[in-house]
């Protein structure tokens, strides 16, 4: 499983780079998805912190429970892949 995660973080940005070269509209799509993923990620985290503060819960155990949220995991994974894609794009353009 660890190998799949590592290979995925290397392969998906490369695939995104190739696809956006072939279909320039995908650059816009990737950017919109990144915007939505960042918005979702930030909202999940801020709402969890708000709940902890409002209900006076134990901070560490409650906050770590949000790591089980599939929307947080998916949006965080896309943000990571997107950042690697954008850095790859910069490397290609500035070469």
Q: Report pLDDT digits (tens) over 65-74.
A: 888 999 999 9
Of the chain, the percentage scoring pLDDT greater than 90 comes to 69
CA torsion 79-84-87-91 (nearest 10°) is: -160
Burial 39-73 (b: 16+ CB within 10 A, else e): ebbeebeeebeeebeeeeeeeeeeeeebeeeeebe
The model's pTM is 0.88
């Amino acid at each position: 499983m660890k190998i799949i995660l590592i290979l995925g973080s290397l392969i998906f940005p490369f695939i995104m780079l190739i696809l956006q070269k072939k279909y320039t509209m995908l650059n816009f799509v990737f950017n919109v998805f990144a915007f939505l993923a960042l918005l979702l990620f930030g909202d999940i985290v801020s709402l969890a912190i708000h709940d902890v503060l409002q209900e006076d819960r134990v901070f560490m155990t409650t906050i770590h429970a949000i790591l089980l949220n599939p929307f947080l995991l998916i949006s965080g994974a896309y943000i990571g892949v997107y950042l690697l894609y954008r850095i790859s794009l910069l490397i290609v353009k500035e070469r």
